[in-house]
Amino acid sequence: MDWTSQSILITGGTGSFGKAFAQIVLAELDPKKLIIYSRDELKQSEMRHEPAFHNQRVRYFVGDVRDRPRLVRAMAGVTVVVHAAAMKQVPACEYNPIEAVRTNIEGAVNVIDAAIDQNVERVIALSTDKAVNPVNLYGATKLVAEKLFIQGNSYVGAGRTRFSCTRYGNVMGSRGSVAPLFKRQRDTGKITITDERMTRFWITLEQSVRFVLKCIEIMEGGEVFVPRIPSVRIIDLARAIAPESDIDIIGIRPGEKLHEVLISSDEARQTRELDQMYVVTPSFPWWREPTTPPGAPMAPDTTYASDANAQWLGVDELRQMLEDERHA
């Protein structure tokens, strides 16, 4: 794939992922154009003044994914769309459920429609482990968004647009990560953990960006790409960040899981295993001829869960990752 000929738009472009994505793309891939699409003009202004984004190829569009006409205008001439905009805070989604639906579900519909109307070539949406067997509204909205993007391929007709998704776990350093909370609590001498058995999948911002870029390059339309990433015990993360602090177990919160799942046992039947990722193939690929996807079939009736993972990060490895992030 020749990135120098691509005009890229990223929704939620001023978020943690969006900024990391823009920085790597501008530094390494030299795209024709990079459009930062977000609803926060202050964050866009702040981003403009960062040296990493002093680039004449960058455009800043103020807009909301709820606004379909604005998306259509923003996608004129665009070849690649990365959909990262979402309401992500679980309590905020529960307290404002209709707003979560309007952004995460109706916003997905608007991105799909605008991309088809503007003949965008490749669209990839960011999903989450919370979309698998969801127990909260955020996860439920992301599950629906996944289904919309995958089956959005059947709306394309004779057009060239193709849709796929990526799905991964907690991102170290992002605004939704527990790590910043632990860092703030460290100053008080006490870290709060909901359950000492809790595990999560773990990925760095840079790894998530490079994974998304790889998936854009290989996507054919309809896949859900899942990286093979390590798990962490949340209590080990707390010990890595604040080894001198006391740990207070406060009990699991509503809408929270003890362990997360990236591939369910039902999805295993549609999943292929590659060296660095799993690929969940579409159940109803009406838009293309049946093919045999690369990789080996995943064992049926198995799951890819954070508590049964083959890869783990211990306290020392987490501490090193946090140190590397601080110096990045």
Q: What is the pLDDT of residues 185-214, one digit of tens each?
A: 888 989 999 999 999 999 999 999 999 999
- Judge whether 130 counts as a catalytic residue: yes
Other Cβ atoms within 10 Å of 275 Cβ, number? 6
Query: Is residue 300 pLDDT above 90, yes or no?
Result: no
**Burial class of residue 38 in the structure, from the number of CB atoms within 10 Å of its CB (0-12 exposed, 13-18 middle, 19+ buried):** buried
What does residue 256 show for φ and ψ, rounded to 5 degrees? -115, 145
* Domain extent listing, the chain: 3-169+202-228+264-305
Retrieve residue 269's tokens: 């039947």
Q: Which residues contact 161 (CB under 8 A, 6 or more apart)?
A: 115, 116, 119, 120, 121, 122, 123, 153
Which of these is catalytic: 19, 43, 88, 130?
Answer: 130
pLDDT, mean over the chain: 93
- The single-letter DSSP state of residue 189 is T
pLDDT band at 178 (very low <50, low <70, confident <90, very high): confident
3-state secondary structure at position 11: strand
Beta strand 271-273 with 224-227: parallel, antiparallel or unpaired? unpaired
pLDDT band at 294 (very low <50, low <70, confident <90, very high): confident
| pLDDT for the residue 321 | 83
Q: Which residues contact 227 (CB under 8 A, 6 or more apart)?
A: 166, 168, 203, 207, 211, 276, 277
3-state secondary structure at position 67: coil
Nearest-CA neighbor of 227 among 279, 187, 271, 183?
A: 279
Distance of CA 280 to the CA centre of its chain: 16
**Burial class of residue 14 in the structure, from the number of CB atoms within 10 Å of its CB (0-12 exposed, 13-18 middle, 19+ buried):** buried
- d(C-alpha 198, C-alpha 204), whole Å: 19
Query: Is residue 291 pLDDT above 80, yes or no?
Result: no
Specify the amino acid at residue 118: Q
| pLDDT for the residue 176 | 64
* Percent of the chain scoring above 90 in pLDDT: 80
Query: How do residues 251-271 score in pLDDT, each as one tens digit?
Result: 988 888 999 999 999 999 999
Other Cβ atoms within 10 Å of 114 Cβ, number? 25
Other Cβ atoms within 10 Å of 228 Cβ, number? 16
Q: Which residues contact 103 (CB under 8 A, 6 or more apart)?
A: 64, 65, 66, 85, 86, 87
Question: What fold is seen in the domain 3-169+202-228+264-305?
Answer: Rossmann fold (3.40.50)
- d(C-alpha 321, C-alpha 187), whole Å: 20
Query: How do residues 56-114 score in pLDDT, each as one tens digit?
Result: 999 999 999 999 999 999 999 999 999 999 999 999 999 999 999 999 999 999 999 99
Tell me the mean pLDDT in the region 134-146.
Answer: 97
**Burial class of residue 138 in the structure, from the number of CB atoms within 10 Å of its CB (0-12 exposed, 13-18 middle, 19+ buried):** buried
Query: Is residue 180 pLDDT above 90, yes or no?
Result: no
- d(C-alpha 159, C-alpha 147), whole Å: 20
| pLDDT for the residue 183 | 86
Query: Is residue 324 pLDDT above 80, yes or no?
Result: no
pLDDT band at 328 (very low <50, low <70, confident <90, very high): low
Tell me the mean pLDDT in the region 222-246.
Answer: 94
Q: Give the Cα-Cα-Cα angle 54, 56, 57 (nearest 5 degrees).
A: 110
3-state secondary structure at position 113: helix
Query: How do residues 2-61 score in pLDDT, each as one tens digit?
Result: 999 999 999 999 999 999 999 999 999 999 999 999 999 999 999 999 999 999 999 999
**How many residues make up the chain in this entry?**
328
Q: Which residues contact 327 (CB under 8 A, 6 or more apart)?
A: none
| pLDDT for the residue 25 | 97
